[in-house]
Amino acid sequence: AQTVTQSQPEMSVQEAETVTLSCTYDTSENNYYLFWYKQPPSRQMILVIRQEAYKQQNATENRFSVNFQKAAKSFSLKISDSQLGDTAMYFCAFMKLIQGAQKLVFGQGTRLTINP
Amino acid sequence: ETGVTQSPTHLIKTRGQQVTLRCSSQSGHNTVSWYQQALGQGPQFIFQYYREEENGRGNFPPRFSGLQFPNYSSELNVNALELDDSALYLCASRTGGRYGYTFGSGTRLTVV
């Protein structure tokens, strides 16, 4: 069974600092997608960044970047120049096909607090 | 884009009752998934609908059922509510061929 593990339940950094959130996953598949989602108090899941497993280049989106290590099944998220608005729950997710549907398997989440 | 809208935002039901949660997706989003997020946990996949047919289901009993309509709206129905059904229910939709889901803000269901 595919699983996603986020080993850091909570993290806290000062504004403008860089922070890295960890994620490991377990799968026997070779082609898949990995995601980081942000869930602020508004509850809506917001896509932060996506990585296709067949791409060796790490994805980047402005201040957000990933370190994708396929052999180690590791997918960490780095947030540079952190801002107060980055405060939220962050979920790592793996996408798999189940009976033709695309299912997201989420980790337990990391609560990130950016302090002024 | 108008986003994904869920209603109601909060709901309190009594054990044994039935509930219907609603989701209105963006135009063109022919795939909708529903997730259950217990407090302090990551979301769990309930099922997915594509062009009004269920095409995938997670580990949820048959009392969890759904419908998808031609106007890109959908419903999640839960019968015989149990206390453990208390959770945030999230709807997510996308167009075919795209792997980025757009999520709604969820419905917080409390079963007492």
What single string gives the DSSP state of each residue in A13-41? EETT--EEE--EEE-S-SS-EEEEEEE-T
* Bigger pLDDT: A84 vs A1: A84
Share of chain A above pLDDT 90, in %: 76
- Return the pLDDT at A49: 94
Q: What is the pLDDT of residues B14-70, one digit of tens each?
A: 999 999 999 998 887 889 999 999 999 999 999 999 889 998 999 999 999 999 999
Q: Chain A: nearest CA to B89, how far in angstroms?
A: 10
- Return the pLDDT at B1: 47
Q: Chain A: nearest CA to B10, how far in angstroms?
A: 12
Per-residue pLDDT at A32 exceeds 90? no
Given 3-state DSSP classes, what are the helix, strand and coil percentages for chain A, each rounded to the nearest 5?
A: 5, 55, 40
- Return the pLDDT at B72: 84
- Return the pLDDT at A30: 81
Rounded Cα distance between A56 and A13, Å, is 29
List the single residue in A45, A50, A100 with the smallest CB-CB distance to B99: A50
Task: Name chain B contacts of A37, Cβ cutoff 8 Å.
Answer: 103
Half-sphere exposure of B12 (CA within 13 A, CB side): 1
- Return the pLDDT at B98: 52
CB atoms within 10 A of CB B63: 13
Half-sphere exposure of B84 (CA within 13 A, CB side): 3
**Cross-chain residue pair A101–B33, CB shorter than 8 Å:** yes
Rounded Cα distance between A39 and A37, Å, is 7
The partner residues of A109 in beta bridges, in order of sequence, read none
| A47 Cβ contact partners less than 8 Å away, ≥ 6 residues apart | A35, A36, A37, B100, B101
Cβ contacts below 8 Å, chain A against chain B, sum to: 71
List the single residue in B35, B42, B99 with the smallest CB-CB distance to A107: B42
- Return the pLDDT at B99: 63
Q: What is the pLDDT of residues B73-98, one digit of tens each?
A: 999 999 999 999 999 999 999 876 55
**Cross-chain residue pair B33–A33, CB shorter than 8 Å:** no
